[in-house]
């Protein structure tokens, strides 16, 4: 379904969407550069010297840094004066691929902005009990392929809480959690990214009370091959996923380069995913896309591991509020599909399925009950018949009129401590 979709380079700025674009800064004088260099040296020394229980306070101000920051240690809190008050600018970054790189457990970062990093904004690698609160990561020059790939980026982590954060203009995903276990992403905003919020190869994730708008794709739940674990059990609920119609500006060859502009919520090759109680509107390709790895057009040089499962299974869509969307899908194949099925003035339905299914598991033309794709509330579904190159698409929603057992809420240590 994605193969004919062309990656669109978006070089114009979206300053109206990026709050910092309009921020007026005083000219950076020689004295300011010297002061910021001294600040950077002191801050990195504080991070190097931090012990369990240390709180590294960063006062209000905009600081221009030339090197990425690194923390290796447990039990450390980094605290700014507020998202709009403490700004770490990496526009002049010379060394280090990330703005901030963290290896550690029981880590908290809150109340600051990281902007214009050479690579990823904030990366947390292999940590347990990670809290990211009231952090903004952004690229102030607009949505460009030269921006860093990931804004907020915990990977191979456990017990992760991301709350009240903002991610703007990442060339891959604004808020991304990968290969992790026990994740809550809530009350955050993702805008002007390729993927707004992405949960990839992660087990037990709750994504709720977020706003994803003006991205290429709003919220993604993916399983990719050749990673440390497959993902499952994600709940996406009570989010606003609206007008994600930004042209795809991802680097060629990356997985998200295949995401069609105009995608609201996408599930790809994942299992046990619930989508409920969301407001999903005006996403021009489709409000919800359910697809297999076979339709992405993304291939790895190493090939695909034999134990990789490319098919979506146990997908449950119910209780959402859909509006608009599907009127101008991205890519020639989807445009042709829309016209053939719904006419020039019509639109694709709220749920678009690529039609790939694991036929080895089917009994009498159906997957086992616990592995089916279930769409409730009379929502229209289109089976695009991707395996046969869209020759026999079907509007028949009857196969999707089923119910699945609901997933339990995700429990992580940070939430348990609040009760």
- Dump pLDDT digits (tens) for 71-101: 999 999 999 999 999 999 999 999 999 999 9
pLDDT per position as a tens digit, 378-418: 999 999 999 998 999 999 999 999 999 999 999 999 998 88
Angle among Cα 111, 112, 116 to the nearest 5 degrees reads: 160
pLDDT confidence tier of residue 197, bands split at 50, 70 and 90: very high
**Residue 299: CA count within 13 A, CB half-sphere:** 5
Token digits for 121?
Answer: 């904004």
All structural domains of the chain with their residue ranges: 139-418
pLDDT confidence tier of residue 5, bands split at 50, 70 and 90: very low
Q: CA 404, CA 419: separation in Å to the nearest integer?
A: 29
Between 87 and 29, name the one with better pLDDT.
Answer: 87
Q: Give the pLDDT confidence score for residue 17 in this predicted structure.
A: 36
* pTM, full prediction: 0.93
pLDDT at 15 over 90: no
What is the phi/psi pair of residue 367, to 5°? -70, 160
pLDDT at 28 over 80: no
């Amino acid at each position: 379904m994605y193969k004919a979709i062309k990656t669109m380079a978006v070089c114009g700025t979206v300053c109206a969407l990026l709050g910092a674009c309009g921020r007026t800064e005083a000219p950076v004088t020689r004295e300011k550069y010297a002061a910021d260099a001294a600040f950077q040296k002191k801050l990195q020394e504080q991070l190097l010297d931090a012990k369990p229980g240390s709180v590294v306070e960063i006062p209000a101000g905009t600081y221009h840094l030339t090197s990425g920051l690194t923390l290796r240690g447990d039990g450390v809190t980094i605290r700014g004066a507020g998202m709009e008050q403490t700004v770490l600018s990496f526009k002049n970054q010379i060394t280090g691929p990330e703005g901030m790189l963290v290896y550690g457990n029981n880590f908290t970062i809150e109340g600051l902005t990281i902007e214009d990093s050479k690579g990823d904004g904030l990366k947390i690698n292999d940590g347990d009990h990670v809290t990211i609160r009231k952090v903004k990561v952004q690229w102030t020059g607009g949505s460009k392929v030269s921006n860093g790939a990931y804004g907020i980026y915990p990977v191979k982590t456990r017990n992760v809480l991301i709350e009240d954060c903002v991610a703007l203009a990442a060339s891959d995903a604004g808020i991304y959690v990968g290969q992790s276990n026990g994740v809550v992403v809530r009350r955050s905003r993702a805008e002007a990214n390729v993927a707004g919020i992405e949960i990839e190869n992660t087990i037990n994730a709750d994504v709720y009370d977020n706003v994803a708008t003006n991205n290429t794709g709003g919220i993604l739940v993916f399983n990719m091959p050749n990673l440390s674990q497959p993902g499952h059990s994600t709940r996406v609920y009570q989010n606003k996923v609206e007008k994600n119609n930004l042209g795809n500006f991802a680097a060629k060859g990356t997985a998200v380069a295949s995401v069609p502009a105009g995608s609201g919520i996408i599930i790809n090759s994942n299992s046990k995913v619930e989508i409920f109680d969301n407001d999903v509107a005006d996403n021009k390709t489709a409000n919800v896309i359910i697809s297999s790895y076979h339709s992405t057009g993304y291939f790895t040089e190493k090939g695909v591991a034999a134990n990789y499962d490319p098919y979506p299974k146990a997908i449950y869509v119910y209780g959402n509020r859909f509006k608009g969307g599907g009127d101008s899908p991205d890519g020639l194949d989807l445009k042709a599909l829309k016209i053939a099925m719904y006419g020039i003035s019509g639109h694709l339905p709220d749920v678009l399925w690529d039609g790939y299914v694991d036929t080895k598991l089917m009994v009498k033309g159906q997957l086992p009950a616990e592995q089916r794709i279930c769409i409730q509330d009379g929502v229209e579904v289109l089976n695009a018949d991707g395996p046969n190159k869209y020759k026999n698409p079907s509007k028949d929603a009857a196969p999707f009129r089923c119910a699945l057992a609901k997933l339990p809420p995700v429990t992580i240590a940070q939430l348990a401590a609040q009760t």
